[in-house]
Amino acid sequence: MKSGSGSARVIIGFLGILAGSLLLLVSNGIIRTGALLIPLGLLGTGIALFYVGTTRDGREGAVFPGAFLTLLAIFLVLRATILSEVAILRIWPVFLSMAGIALFVYAWNKGPDFRLVIGVPAVFIIVLSIVFLLFSMDVVRVGFLDFVLAWWPFLLVFAGIITLWSHYNRQSGS
């Protein structure tokens, strides 16, 4: 079996799942058909570009447009269905988390060198978005500046973990 046909099956599988899910929203009256066409096209294009960019021999230039189009499509579907403006203002860090996860998947699929150089910032983006989400959902009751002043030493712990990971990653590679 050729590897190209496997890639096509993966893309077709994802598109089938997404198209079916969105059409379920239409058939149950949750979303209008017209509001579905643009997000569905953006979603299919975004997933295809992201998949092409995250494969080991794929084009790196396709990762950002793929992730951006996918997130935009998800936002448009959520906006047309269940989210109000107030809810979107509260959950915006979720979209930042999704971007961090997309970046981490890209780094992981590209190999060991990319795991450190791109994976670490991706994890930092994910952690930062979780912190922002805690503030936007009013889970944390202190001010942001007070929170930063109390928890800044965590950055030193994080830097130490990254340094050790880098050291052991290089030792196992040589």
Q: Based on the domain organization, do 148 and 104 belong to the same domain?
A: yes
Q: Based on the domain organization, do 99 and 28 belong to the same domain?
A: no
* pLDDT band at residue 1 under the 50/70/90 scheme: very low
Q: Based on the domain organization, do 52 and 112 belong to the same domain?
A: no
pLDDT at 40: 77
Q: Based on the domain organization, do 12 and 58 belong to the same domain?
A: yes
Q: Based on the domain organization, do 92 and 172 belong to the same domain?
A: yes
Q: Based on the domain organization, do 48 and 104 belong to the same domain?
A: no
Global pTM reads 0.58
Q: How many domains does the chain have?
A: 2
Instruction: Decide which of 40, 61, 82 is a domain's last residue.
Output: 82
The upper half-sphere exposure of residue 92, i.e. CA atoms within 13 Å in the direction of its Cβ, equals: 7
Across 25-37, average pLDDT? 70
Alpha-helix runs per DSSP H in 82-152: 85-110, 112-117, 119-136, 144-151
Q: Based on the domain organization, do 73 and 91 belong to the same domain?
A: no
Q: Based on the domain organization, do 7 and 78 belong to the same domain?
A: yes
Tens digit of each residue's pLDDT (9 = 90 or more) over 71-90: 888 878 777 777 766 677 78
Instruction: Decide which of 58, 82, 106 is a domain's last residue.
Output: 82
Q: Based on the domain organization, do 78 and 27 belong to the same domain?
A: yes
Q: Based on the domain organization, do 4 and 25 belong to the same domain?
A: yes
The upper half-sphere exposure of residue 102, i.e. CA atoms within 13 Å in the direction of its Cβ, equals: 24
Instruction: Decide which of 82, 106, 135 is a domain's last residue.
Output: 82
Q: Based on the domain organization, do 112 and 101 belong to the same domain?
A: yes
Q: Based on the domain organization, do 169 and 117 belong to the same domain?
A: yes
Tens digit of each residue's pLDDT (9 = 90 or more) over 94-148: 888 888 888 888 787 777 777 777 888 888 899 889 988 888 888 888 888 888 8
Q: Which domain holds residue 23?
A: 1-82
Task: Say if CB 47 and CB 17 are below 8 A apart.
Answer: no
